[in-house]
Homo-oligomer: A and B are copies of this chain.
Amino acid sequence: MSAEKIKNMEEFAAKCGVSRPTASKYFNDPNSVRPKTRLRIEAALERYNYRPNIYAINQNRRLTKTIGIVVPYLADPFFAEIARYLETRCIEAGYSPSLFSSHGKPELENDNLDTLRSMKPAGVLFAPLGRSSDREFVAQFCQDVPTVLFDSNIDGVGDVFIGSDNPQFTSLMVQYLCRTGEPPCFFEMKTPPNPNARKRRLGYLDAMQKQGHEPHIFEAQGEGWALEEIGHQEGIRFIDSGEMQTKTVLCSNDRLAIGFLAACYQKGLRVGITEDCDLRVAGLDGHPFSSYTCPSLTTVSHDYEAISERSVETLFTMIENDSSSGSRREKLFEGKLLLRSSA
């Protein structure tokens, strides 16, 4: 490795003994040059660690090799896990992923889309905030940039949505709970920040009705993404209120459930399916940490891999065909029941 610094592609091409356009061609696609010249270039690449200036490259390309990944809240392990998978897949496919979190704020979401737009990305994988998203703004973005919406749907916006069948989640869990014991009440936030809450509530109401049971919903107060905290605080209030008319609680998501389990523990309620327990508690999501709660949480898990995989694949074909498909496509994956010891 020579210490000599190489300023630009001109100099580098000279070291290789090729012309600059040929070097340029190589960097765009190593296979597009003759094997012999390719070797010459790669030999030089070993000696001098030259790398083309990304800004100069991207300025002149209509589209870059960047893929934007936007999630509503990266400190939520659910999204952290998905982001990890998406990033890996993009790199494998030769793109450079660029990760953004909206930190739960619609303004930041718009900002993220703005900076992404100016990055001329080849495509974007976008999990919107949901109800609090700026609908118009997002719709415009999806028109301008090849975008795959995932996790949270915004009706009629964008060409593709890939996510989970949330009503199926609740219905699956309600069925299981009813078959094995008392029908569940539903523990959810009154104003949830996460997008799929509404569909889960509807799924609960629907499933209960179909089973011929009367639904009970407890609405937890509180705002923001501190779901465990809210589940805990409001769980205690729920328990103390005496409104709990059933010994089975279905939480709208796993993070709420984790907080609720803490509330139960604190209140001396034993949670589980065995005879000596006071309460059954179930969650929804398949949160990465849900197997390590005490007791381990029975839940319905997203098919993380399928969602990530399909999102990425769909985006890649969108990029290749670069045509907006005309009709809007949605793909919903079913959840898998994870039977553990809490319910």
Which residues of A does B touch, CB under 8 Å?
Answer: 51, 53-56, 58-59, 74-75, 77, 80-81, 83-84, 87-88, 96, 98-101, 103, 114-115, 118-120, 228, 231-232, 258-259, 261-262, 265-266, 288-289, 291-296
Contact = CB atoms under 8 A, between A and B. Distances in A.
Contacts of A259: 292
Contact of A262 (B53, B266, B294): B294
Given A74-B83, A96-B115, A265 B295 contact: yes
B101 A84 contact: yes
A189 to B, nearest CB: 16
Contacts of A100: 99
A101 B294 CA distance: 30
A84 B225 CA distance: 13
14 contacts: A51-B118, A56-B59, A75-B83, A77-B80, A84-B103, A88-B103, A99-B99, A99-B100, A228-B291, A261-B292, A262-B291, A262-B294, A262-B296, A294-B294
Given A54-B118, A55-B55, A88-B103, A262 B293 contact: yes
Which of A54, A74, A100 lies at the interface centre, i.e. has the most chain B CB atoms within 10 A of its CB? A74
A228 B83 CA distance: 20
B51 A59 contact: no
A256 to B, nearest CB: 11
Contacts of A228: 289, 291-292
Which of A56, A84, A294, A295 lies at the interface centre, i.e. has the most chain B CB atoms within 10 A of its CB? A294
Given A75-B77, A99-B100, A265-B295, 10 more contacts: A53-B59, A54-B115, A74-B74, A74-B80, A75-B288, A84-B101, A232-B292, A258-B289, A265-B294, A293-B294
Nearest to A226: B288
A295 B262 CA distance: 7
Nearest to A58: B55
A-B residue pairs, 7 tightest by C-beta? A265-B294, A55-B59, A294-B294, A75-B80, A262-B292, A55-B58, A228-B292
A99 B84 CA distance: 12
Contact of A53 (B81, B87, B118): B118
